[in-house]
Amino acid sequence: MEQYKQEFIEFMVESDVLKFGEFTLKSGRKSPFFMNAGAYVTGSQLMRLGEYYARAIHETYGDDFDVLFGPAYKGIPISVVTAVAFHNLYGKEVRYCSDRKEEKDHGADKGSFLGSKLKDGDRVVMIEDVTTSGKSMEETVPKVRGAADVTIVGLMVSLNRMEKGLGGEKSALEEIREKYGFETNAIVTMEEVVEHLYNRTCQGRVVIDDTIKAAIDDYYKQYGCN
């Protein structure tokens, strides 16, 4: 596993973004882990977050794209900090764009988007925190494709939970790839998280001990992808 991925896993734990215990997800599933990108709140955390996304996007998709699109709400700051990081790390200017939950009907910037306008010929990388069901893509992909004649290069999320999406046996990321026809990737997978943290000290404690590991294994027996 690349060094930056190991650092990113520890960064998620340090930032209290990735937690282990007992959590009820929106889907109703009882999960032994939970990720909340809303816990990145400081300047240094957001700077580092953008750098990790930029590195993963550069490694996966290169720099042949024009726009980073972050769905509202959590995708907005992620797309902004990643655009900044991409410029700082690779010297390439990319624009950011996000959608609004409610269309703005006044002022010079009225409409359903924030940031850069999408233009014909734009190559777009979608950017999100985590995708469990793929519901946000159902709302945003038609908006993006309807705004201009663009190509969606791919989607990058923080964490691939590696569990069944709402459609059955495939992961949410696989379902999105099949439904919309663009690549889907994550900075790290849950398998990599477990591999890196199991019985290893992080922040002065063992985050995934035998009990948590057993709970994760049981969870994947029920909800893991084949």
Q: Which residues are catalytic?
A: 104, 106
The amino acid that residue 219 corresponds to is Y
Any known ligand binding at 106? yes
Check the annotation: does 100 bind a ligand.
yes
Cα end-to-end distance, the chain, whole Å:
22
213 known ligand binder: no
- Known binding residue 129? Answer is yes
Separation of alpha carbons 152 and 220, rounded Å: 31
Quick check: 119 and 84 in contact, CB under 8 A?
no
Q: Is 19 known to sit in a ligand binding site?
A: no
Count Cβ atoms within 10 A of the Cβ of residue 193 and give its class: 0-12 exposed, 13-18 middle, 19 or more buried.
buried
User: Per the structure block, which two tokens stand in for 75?
Assistant: 């995708």
Q: What is the DSSP string of 170-223?
A: SBHHHHHHHHH-SEEEEEEEHHHHHHHHBT-EETTEESB-HHHHHHHHHHHHHH
**Is residue 74 a known part of a binding site?**
yes
Q: Is 132 annotated as a binding residue?
A: yes
| 201 known ligand binder | no
120 labeled binding residue = no
Q: How far is CA 155 from the centre of its chain?
A: 8
Q: Which residues are annotated as a binding site?
A: 26, 73-74, 100-101, 104, 106, 128-136, 161
Q: Which residues are annotated as a binding site for 5-phospho-alpha-D-ribose 1-diphosphate?
A: 26, 73-74, 100-101, 104, 106, 128-136
Q: Which residues are annotated as a binding site for orotate?
A: 132, 161
